[in-house]
Amino acid sequence: MFEPITSRLRRWHLRNVTRRKLSMLDDRLLTDIGTKRSGIADFISTRTCEGE
């Protein structure tokens, strides 16, 4: 019954953790993985959509 809620909460938490960790990287490392600091949110949304 609560599986969709817990699943959504888990994904939300994972996105936030990922966003924090990517924000701590310097611009050179972000470029190496194919994104910019201003594109972190888009980068996360495309990666999480591919993983689902």
What are the pLDDT digits (tens) for 9-39? 998 999 999 999 999 999 999 999 988 999 9
Q: Is pLDDT of 41 > 70?
A: yes
Predicted confidence (pLDDT) at residue 46 exceeds the cutoff of 90: no
Identify whether 15 is part of a domain. Answer: no
Is 11 inside any structural domain?
no
User: What gap in Å lies between CA 25 and CA 29, rounded to an integer?
Assistant: 6
- Number of compact structural domains in the chain: 1
The answer to whether position 2 is within a domain reads no
Q: Determine how many CB atoms are found less than 10 A away from the CB of residue 13.
A: 10
pLDDT on residue 36: 92
**pTM higher than the cut 0.75:** no
- How does residue 49 score in pLDDT terms, banded at 50, 70 and 90? low
Give the domain extent around 39: 25-52
In a domain, 48, yes or no: yes
Residue 29 or residue 50, greater confidence: 29
Please check whether residue 47 lies inside any domain of the structure: yes
| Residue 13, phi then psi, degrees to nearest 5 | -65, -45
